[in-house]
Amino acid sequence: MPSLLMLNMVLRLVSWRLSGVRIGRGSWIKSPIRVGVGSWMGWGCTVRGDGELVIGKYCAIGENVRAITSNHDMDRLTMNYLVQDRLVGERFHSAKSGVVIGNDVWIGDSAILLPGITIGDGAVIGAGAVVSRSVDPYTVAAGNPARPIRRRFEPDLEARIRQLTWWDWDAAKMRANAHLFSIHCSSHPEAMSVSEIRTDRDC
C-alpha cells in the first residue's frame, strides 16, 4: 500500500488498482488498512478512525460503505477532540477499535461497520446495515442494528466449505478446480470436499 496521503490523492481522480486489489474512486482512507488479494471496494467508501481496517482475500465491498475503526470515549468530561487536543495534548478513544473482515465476504452498499467488530469468512452484510456486533462466518446479517437473518449453508456443508479455505490457493490450484466455483453448493454438497480438490498435476 502507498502512504495514505498518496492513496487519497489518487482516489480523488481514479480507482486504485494493484496486485489484485481495487479501491473505488472517491473513497477516503484515514485509517491504517490492510487488504487481501482479490478484494474490491466500491466507489465512495470511507475508512476513518485510529484503529486498523483488515480486509481478507476476495471480498466484495459495495459503494459508500463506511468503516469506523475507533470512537470517542464517552467516559471523559468531554468527547470533543479539539478540546482534548488543546488541554491534554491527546485524544481519548473507546476501548473498542479496529474492524476485521474475513475472506470471501460480501458487504452491500452503504453499510456502516462500527469499531471492534469482526465479520467472519463467507458472511454477507445487507445494504444499509449498521454492524455493531461481530458476525459469524457464513451468516447473512442485515438491518439497524444488523442481526443474523440466516446461515448460508447447512452445518455439514458449511464445515466442508470452511475446510477448503480456497482463498489460500494459488492461481494454478484455482484453475485446476475451476469447476467448483460454478457448482450450486447446496445441490452438490459432495463436491465441496477436500478429497475432491485437484492439483494442477491432475489436469
pLDDT in tens, 76-123: 989 898 998 999 999 888 889 999 999 999 999 999 999 999 999 999
Considering the domain architecture, whether residues 167 and 139 belong to the same structural domain is answered as: no
- Domain membership of residue 193 as a residue range: 155-202
Burial, 53: exposed, middle or buried (Cβ in 10 Å; 0-12, 13-18, 19+)?
A: buried
Alpha helices, DSSP H only, in 60-188?
81-87, 155-164, 171-176
Considering the domain architecture, whether residues 112 and 183 belong to the same structural domain is answered as: no
pLDDT digits (tens, 9 = 90+) for 21-59: 999 999 999 999 999 999 999 999 999 999 999 999 999
Considering the domain architecture, whether residues 142 and 159 belong to the same structural domain is answered as: no
Kind plus residue range of the DSSP H or E element containing 168: none
Single out the residue of 187, 162, 164, 184 nearest to residue 174, CA to CA: 164
Span of 26-35, 39-48, 128-137, 184-193 with lowest mean pLDDT: 184-193
pTM for the predicted model, two decimal places: 0.91
Considering the domain architecture, whether residues 168 and 191 belong to the same structural domain is answered as: yes
Considering the domain architecture, whether residues 97 and 168 belong to the same structural domain is answered as: no
Q: Is the pLDDT of residue 142 over 90?
A: yes
Please state, in angstroms and rounded to a whole number, the distance separating the CA atoms of residues 8 and 13. 9
Kind plus residue range of the DSSP H or E element containing 150: strand 147-151
Q: Is the pLDDT of residue 201 over 70?
A: no
pLDDT-derived band at 203 (thresholds 50, 70, 90) equals very low
Considering the domain architecture, whether residues 165 and 104 belong to the same structural domain is answered as: no
How much is the average pLDDT of 151-158?
Answer: 95
Distance of CA 201 to CAs 95, 177, 197, 198, Å? 50, 11, 11, 8
The CATH number of the domain holding residue 91 is 2.160.10.10
How much is the average pLDDT of 142-152?
Answer: 97
Percent of the chain with pLDDT over 70: 98
pLDDT at 33: 95
Considering the domain architecture, whether residues 170 and 185 belong to the same structural domain is answered as: yes
Considering the domain architecture, whether residues 121 and 145 belong to the same structural domain is answered as: yes
Considering the domain architecture, whether residues 191 and 106 belong to the same structural domain is answered as: no
pLDDT at 156: 94
Considering the domain architecture, whether residues 20 and 88 belong to the same structural domain is answered as: yes
Considering the domain architecture, whether residues 143 and 180 belong to the same structural domain is answered as: no
Cell numbers for 127 = 445494504
Single out the residue of 156, 201, 195 nearest to residue 176, CA to CA: 201
Residues known to be catalytic: 72
Considering the domain architecture, whether residues 74 and 106 belong to the same structural domain is answered as: yes
> What integer best gives the mean pLDDT of the chain?
93
Q: Are 104 and 122 in contact (CB under 8 A)?
A: yes
pLDDT at 202: 56
Single out the residue of 24, 11, 10 nearest to residue 65, CA to CA: 24
Percent of the chain with pLDDT over 90: 82
Number of domains in the chain: 2
Span of 115-124, 137-146, 181-190 with lowest mean pLDDT: 181-190
Would you give the DSSP letter of residue 115?
A: T
pLDDT at 200: 61
Burial, 169: exposed, middle or buried (Cβ in 10 Å; 0-12, 13-18, 19+)?
A: middle
